[in-house]
Amino acid sequence: SYIDQNQLQSFSPGVFDHLPELRTLGLPSNRL
């Protein structure tokens, strides 16, 4: 799915701890 950069900024930092796949994609990639 896709998310806006504004939504990314609204995420709590802890979300990335639960979504390691986001780290592998690397930001500012919006593709999950």
- Domains in the chain: boundaries: 1-32
Q: What's the CA gap between 3 and 24, in Å, rounded?
A: 16
The residues that bridge with 31 in the sheet, in sequence order, are 2
Percentage of the residues of the chain whose pLDDT score is greater than 70 = 0
Q: Which helix (H) or strand (E) holds 1?
A: none
pTM score over 0.85: no
- What pLDDT was estimated at residue 32? 46
Split at pLDDT 50, 70, 90, the class of 13 is low
- Other beta carbons within 10 Å of 25: 13
31: which 2 tokens?
A: 């593709």
Average pLDDT over residues 4-22: 63
